[in-house]
Amino acid sequence: MSSNRGTDESSDWLKIFIIALILALIIRKFFFSPIIVDGPSMQPTLYDRDQMIVNKFIYYVKDPDRFDIVIFHASEEKDFIKRVIGLPGEHVMVKDNILYINGEKVDQPFLHHNENTPIVYPIITNDFTLEMLPGHHNVIPEGYVLVLGDNRSNSTDSRSIGLISIDQIVGKTNLVYWPFERMHLVKE
């Protein structure tokens, strides 16, 4: 009788393990997954090798907002992490390091030094207008966003690859969980 009880207990643990594994895979595939920042394109906000959590579900219930940090498929092999700057229906321009949306000046507080940015350096964005970018649009079409890296002088972003389809976006991220001393929520 005791060997039967042991077999039942082992079977129960195996079922629990399989259910937990399936739930973990579902959560990682459809809801949340980790990502590692690769390169300096998001400095001073994010640094090379920062580890973050990606919320894959959020854009099923709402559209991206200005200044969201998003992960998107830049190619079949590579995902990029950038900041949403321009939204559908908007005109974007940068002149003398000032961002203009539909002709109105827009502050970018994330580009300034804060307690999580150990390095202070000038943010230089070469002047551009939406019309100068690949696609030569007058306004951002529906279903697309304009993204830029925070390190404007060292970022492959919409200035060179064009507007990003919202369908390319994997999710939003704002939680740095590693390295431990940099653990924080990124403010937009």
What amino acid positions are annotated as catalytic residues?
Answer: 41, 82
End-to-end Cα separation, the chain, in angstroms: 62
94's CB contacts (< 8 A; 6+ apart) are 100, 125, 126, 127, 128
Q: How far is CA 184 from CA 53, 105, 127, 174, 175, in A?
A: 11, 29, 32, 8, 6
Residue type, 117: T
